[in-house]
Amino acid sequence: MTAPLKHSDPVNVEVALGNRAYDIVIGRGVLASLGERVAALRPGVRTAIVTDRTVAKYWLEPAEASLAASGIPTSRIVVEEGEISKTYAGLERVSEALISARIERNDLVIALGGGVVGDLAGFAAAILRRGVDFVQVPTSLLAQVDSSVGGKTGINSPQGKNLLGAFHQPVLVIADTAVLDTLSPRQFRAGYAEVAKYGVLGDEAFFSWLETNHSDIVRGGSAREHAIATSCRAKAGVVSRDERETGERALLNLGHTFGHALEAATGFSDRLFHGEGVAIGMTLAAQFSARLGMIGEAEASRVERHLIEAGLPTRLQDIAGFAQEGLADADALMTLMAQDKKVTRGKLTFILLEAVGRAVIAKDVEPTPVRDFLKEKLAQKA
């Protein structure tokens, strides 16, 4: 492991995609450099910032001030917070606002917000005038370590999560770790699930480091920058090798097949944040791996124990309104999982574990063992 970064040392992580390569700039206070970096990247550019109401209260004016200081004109598009904006209606609203702002092909859309804003603004940029470049300025931990990197953009369908979208890489990512200080504890914990995911799927040493240092990450110490940079390096490496998710990149979906089904079952509401769904999904994936004899029960318990210590839900019974129709029904959850993007010709694909730190892609998983496993988990007492 590399030594943790100091607060005074911003770090650049490159996503190596040839002539579409871009930097992830990580550090406290780097939002102030947004205008300078955009001006250097695209002289004479015009921008439009897409953000949500909550983020706008804290970070819209600082972002606009940074752009203005570099002589960059901008307009603002403010959407509602949460998955409610990642819909057909939300996409229409943002797209029409970008057209009204006269954002042209050589201009930039700036996504200032968490994963919802990044996905929505990125998808709108991808289809606007058949493709306008965009900059990610992630303001949640989850977005900084996962959704802002790699070019996945999209919206939800009533039938499932992220079923409409496009691969559209940003040209720059600005991850200011100071903005995370304004997150609620629950939002921060939800993002931490994606940090832990990188250790569980491919780096046991990092996972071990997280077990020791997760409290400092929460407090905002230097471990926070280190965890974010390590996570971004891991994702950047995978994306550079498999941009379109034809192979290795699918590993980044550890916990997501279960998690996305749970999000759909709860109506993409604040009953279950995305990262919380991933935490439960990772736990289920580890336990299912143990059920199949791929790992030992102790390793599955190690994953669950760390997520619990980080304050995350790990059991289906931890979800608000667990007993509501659709959530406590194994067949309903199987139907939702059948809409997962990794399904091929109706066959389920899961990301499972051979060890903590070594995930594998398991294709053509038979549904009966999965259904029986879910029935057992659903039958556990709260």
Q: Is 376 a catalytic residue?
A: no
Residue 159 has pLDDT above 80, yes or no: yes
- Annotated binding residue at 36? no
Residue 382 has pLDDT above 90, yes or no: no
Q: Point out which residues pair with 135 in neighbouring strands.
A: 110, 172
Q: Is 7 a catalytic residue?
A: no
Give SS3 for 347: strand
- Annotated binding residue at 152? yes
Q: How confident is the model at residue 234 (pLDDT cuts 50, 70, 90)?
A: very high
- Annotated binding residue at 84? yes
Mean per-residue pLDDT over the chain, rounded: 94
Alpha-carbon distance 333 to 327, whole Å? 7
305 Cα distance to chain centroid: 22
Q: Point out which residues pair with 360 in neighbouring strands.
A: 352
Check 28, 152, 226, 302 and give the catalytic one.
Answer: 152
Check 235, 291, 306, 342 and give the catalytic one.
Answer: 235
Output the pLDDT for position 342: 64
Q: Which two tokens stand for residue 17?
A: 């995609």
Q: Which two tokens stand for residue 286?
A: 């580890």
Cα atoms in the 13 Å half-sphere on the side-chain side of 279: 31
DSSP states along 4-46:
PPPTT--EEEEE--GGG-EEEEEETTGGGGHHHHHHHHSTT--
Output the pLDDT for position 220: 86
Q: Is 168 a catalytic residue?
A: no
Q: Is 226 a catalytic residue?
A: no
- Annotated binding residue at 147? no
Output the pLDDT for position 327: 73
Output the pLDDT for position 222: 85
Q: Is 274 a catalytic residue?
A: yes
The residue among 219 and 60 whose pLDDT is bigger is: 60
Q: CA–CA distance from 361 to each of 141, 248, 280 (Å)?
A: 26, 8, 19
Check 28, 64, 194, 197 and give the catalytic one.
Answer: 194
Q: Is 256 a catalytic residue?
A: yes
Angle formed by the axes of helices 222-241 and 185-202, nearest 10°: 50
Q: How confident is the model at residue 160 (pLDDT cuts 50, 70, 90)?
A: confident
Q: Which two tokens stand for residue 98?
A: 């970008």
Among the listed residues 37, 357, 5, 54, the one whose alpha carbon sits nearest the alpha carbon of residue 182: 54
- Annotated binding residue at 72? no
Check 189, 224, 226, 274 and give the catalytic one.
Answer: 274
Neighbours of 278 (CB within 10 A): 30
Check 197, 214, 260, 377 and give the catalytic one.
Answer: 260
Give SS3 for 261: helix
Residue 229 has pLDDT above 70, yes or no: yes
Check 130, 219, 345, 381 and give the catalytic one.
Answer: 130
Provide the residue count of the chain: 382
Q: Which two tokens stand for residue 324?
A: 């509501």
- Annotated binding residue at 194? yes
Query: What's phi and psi for 150, nearest 5 deg?
Result: 115, -10
Lowest mean pLDDT among 57-61, 81-85, 115-119, 122-126: 81-85
Alpha-carbon distance 44 to 47, whole Å? 10
Q: Is 64 a catalytic residue?
A: no
Longest dimension (CA), the chain: 61
- Annotated binding residue at 215? no
Q: Which two tokens stand for residue 90?
A: 């939300």
Residue 206 has pLDDT above 80, yes or no: yes
Q: How confident is the model at residue 345 (pLDDT cuts 50, 70, 90)?
A: low
Q: Which two tokens stand for residue 73?
A: 């004109």
What are the structural domain ranges in the chain? 11-182, 185-379
Residue 35 amino acid letter: G
Residue 26 has pLDDT above 50, yes or no: yes
Pairing of strands 358-365, 348-355: antiparallel
Query: How much is the pTM?
Result: 0.92
Q: How confident is the model at residue 1 (pLDDT cuts 50, 70, 90)?
A: very low
Q: In the CATH hierarchy, which fold is given to the domain comprising 11-182?
A: Rossmann fold (3.40.50)
Residue 366 amino acid letter: E
- Annotated binding residue at 115? yes
- Location of structure tokens 């629950």: 186
- Annotated binding residue at 75? no
Alpha-carbon distance 6 to 286, whole Å? 34
Q: CA–CA distance from 196 to each of 23, 63, 119, 219 (Å)?
A: 23, 30, 22, 16
Residues sharing a CB contact under 8 Å with residue 158, sequence separation 6 or more, in sequence order = none
Output the pLDDT for position 6: 53
Alpha-carbon distance 303 to 317, whole Å? 18
Q: Which two tokens stand for residue 296?
A: 């030992």
- Location of structure tokens 């992220």: 162
Q: How confident is the model at residue 34 (pLDDT cuts 50, 70, 90)?
A: very high
Residue 347 has pLDDT above 50, yes or no: yes
Check 64, 225, 245, 276 and give the catalytic one.
Answer: 245
- Location of structure tokens 């259904």: 371
Q: Are 24 and 41 in contact (CB under 8 A)?
A: no
Q: How confident is the model at residue 5 (pLDDT cuts 50, 70, 90)?
A: very low
Alpha-carbon distance 375 to 160, whole Å? 21
Residue 125 has pLDDT above 80, yes or no: yes
Q: Are 168 and 122 in contact (CB under 8 A)?
A: yes
CATH class, range 185-379: mainly alpha
Q: Average pLDDT, stretch 362-382? A: 91
